[in-house]
């Protein structure tokens, strides 16, 4: 039986205590992490409902419903923060990443409790694969906020466009890891390769900046 609500309460409780005790930036980051875990819980409800309503199999649900629902739900807390509090765009990166971390953490914990956790190598691969994938899609959305949010006419179109990019990236990852053998292994390493490429790109951009 699935006890994801019980798992959520257990993980969310210390975060709630931290949110009450902290102030400033640490408190905001804890709120984003809790928001990511909440988004994961709500995504499971929505995806399950859609799967049952349309009577789809696991592959279609993982490729069509899960990426769309999960990426949209990860976007909501950050979008709310941007619209309501009007922060500096540099501060949005932490929100996007912490939301993705909270989402991936809760998802992985639920996976561990539902499946065999004896194979450490496989768990490491899944942890770095799925965890990195959620970080990458969070960063994709952050790039949209950072570069497009100042242009009013690009806010809606740019955000929706990059949300679609995140959904497609997520769907491709799910397609690959649902396969067997070498195809699944390729899928697991793609997020880490993308993460390394992003780090290299950022370092190259800093070197080319006139301020450095």
Domain boundaries, the chain: 4-208
pLDDT of residue 89: 73
Give 38-93 pLDDT, tens digit per residue.
999 999 999 999 999 988 887 788 888 999 999 999 999 998 998 888 787 777 87
Give 187-204 pLDDT, tens digit per residue.
989 999 999 988 887 788
pLDDT of residue 1: 47
pLDDT of residue 68: 94
SS3 86: coil
Give 109-152 pLDDT, tens digit per residue.
888 887 766 777 778 877 888 889 999 999 888 887 777 777 77
Which DSSP helix (H) or strand (E) runs through 156? helix 152-177
* Cβ atoms within 10 Å of 65's Cβ, excluding its own: 21
Q: What 8-state DSSP symbol labels residue 63?
A: I
Res 208 pLDDT > 70: no
SS3 29: helix
Instruction: pLDDT band for 211, please (50, 70, 90 cuts).
Output: low
Residues written for the chain: 212
């Amino acid at each position: 039986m699935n006890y994801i609500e019980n798992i959520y309460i257990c993980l969310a409780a210390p975060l709630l205590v931290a949110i009450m005790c902290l102030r400033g930036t640490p408190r905001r980051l804890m709120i984003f992490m809790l928001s990511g875990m909440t988004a994961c819980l709500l995504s499971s409800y929505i995806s399950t409902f859609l799967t049952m309503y349309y009577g789809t199999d696991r592959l279609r649900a993982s490729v069509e419903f899960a990426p769309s629902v999960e990426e949209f739900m990860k976007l909501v807390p950050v979008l709310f923060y941007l619209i309501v509090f009007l922060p500096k765009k540099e501060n949005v990166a932490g929100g996007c990443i912490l939301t993705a971390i909270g989402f991936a953490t809760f998802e992985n914990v639920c996976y561990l409790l539902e499946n065999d956790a004896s194979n450490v190598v496989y768990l490491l691969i899944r942890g770095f694969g799925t965890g990195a994938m959620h970080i990458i899609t969070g960063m994709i959305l952050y790039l949209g906020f950072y570069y497009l949010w100042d242009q009013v006419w690009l806010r809606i179109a740019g955000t929706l466009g990059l949300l679609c990019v995140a959904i497609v990236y997520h769907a491709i990852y799910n397609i690959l890891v649902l396969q067997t053998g070498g195809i699944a292994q390729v899928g697991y390493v793609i997020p880490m390769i993308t993460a390394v490429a992003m780090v290299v790109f950022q370092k190259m951009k800093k070197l080319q900046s006139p301020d450095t």
